[in-house]
Homo-oligomer: A and B are copies of this chain.
Amino acid sequence: MSRPSGRAADQLREVKITRNYTCHAEGSVLVEFGRTKVICTASVESGVPRFLRGQNQGWLTAEYGMLPRATGDRTRREAASGKQGGRTLEIQRLIGRSLRAAVDLSALGDYTLTVDCDVIQADGGTRTAAITGAMVAVEDALAVMQQRGWLSANKPLPLKQRIAAVSVGIYQGGAVLDLDYPEDSAAETDLNVVMTDAGGFIEVQGTAEGAPFDAQQFNSMLALAEKGITELFALQHNALEG
């Protein structure tokens, strides 16, 4: 097996995390997994959705979008077509669920964090890049909340753990880490994995596009994901504290 990019099977693309990428959001990160580039902002607004009112907790929600020409062929602008597609909704539900596993909503107060992940260039793995970058944007936003007095300065930030995400797959019969678009579109199986920095799984979503996969392949992919996510946690750490 030879990867189109020449990478080793267990090799991530070059990953960059740029904080304070835009100036208005409480947290704003440009995350790059090779040619995949996603702007992740975390916005703080006071108040919570109706279904949480009076429950003494905050909320976090996520939205996902792609610029129309982030992709090889132009995609129709969802604002113009009047609705978000199924893929978009599925991805933003995944991002939101994953990040809610990181944040201690019960210690967030009467605030809502809205995470926007907007892909400006797509080359496979946009959802996992988005989760990995948004984690940093959320942490920055929590720090801003503390600086502005919206969170107590005497308590730690309301974070339960960090999370990060990567895709793995079966390409030409072998397990590979961090699929780019040429691999992704030809992969037999595609698996998105979200983990905590304590080593637990938050989300595992695998789809056989071609031949079904077996338990052994599954475990090979999980092991690769674990390796890659460990590296991503180091990159998040460098970005935030390095």
- A67 beta carbon closer than 8 Å to chain B: yes
Cα distance A202–B202 when bound, in Å? 20
Q: List 5 A-B contacts (CB under 8 A).
A: A24-B121, A63-B80, A65-B67, A200-B214, A201-B214
Q: Which residues from B are CB-within-8-Å of A201?
A: 206, 208, 212-215, 218
Is the Cβ of A67 less than 8 Å from the Cβ of B202? no
- A55 beta carbon closer than 8 Å to chain B: no
- A86 beta carbon closer than 8 Å to chain B: yes
- A219 beta carbon closer than 8 Å to chain B: yes
Q: Which residues from B are CB-within-8-Å of A6?
A: none
Looking at the complex, which of A8-16, A68-76, A124-132, A234-242 is the stretch in contact with chain B? Answer: A68-76
- A207 beta carbon closer than 8 Å to chain B: yes
Is the Cβ of B89 less than 8 Å from the Cβ of A65? no
Other A-B pairs beyond A24-B122, A86-B93, A89-B89, 4, CB < 8 Å: A43-B69, A67-B116, A79-B79, A195-B212
Q: Which residues from B are CB-within-8-Å of A219?
A: 215, 219
A82 partner, pick from B25, B82, B89, B218, beta carbons under 8 A: B82
Q: Which residues from B are CB-within-8-Å of A208?
A: 101, 200-203
Residue among A41, A120, A191 facing the most chain B CB atoms (10 A cut-off): A120
Cα distance A121–B20 when bound, in Å? 12
In the complex, the count of this chain's copies comes to: 6
Q: Which residues from B are CB-within-8-Å of A89?
A: 85-86, 89-90
Is the Cβ of B214 less than 8 Å from the Cβ of A116? no
- A84 beta carbon closer than 8 Å to chain B: yes
**Which residues 126-150 in A have Cβ within 8 Å of B in the complex?**
none
- A178 beta carbon closer than 8 Å to chain B: no
Q: Which residues from B are CB-within-8-Å of A227?
A: none
Q: Which residues from B are CB-within-8-Å of A24?
A: 69-72, 121-122
Q: Which residues from B are CB-within-8-Å of A70?
A: 22, 24
A120 partner, pick from B83, B97, B120, B211, beta carbons under 8 A: B120
Residue among A70, A72, A203, A213 facing the most chain B CB atoms (10 A cut-off): A70
Is the Cβ of A45 less than 8 Å from the Cβ of B74? yes
Q: Which residues from B are CB-within-8-Å of A53?
A: none
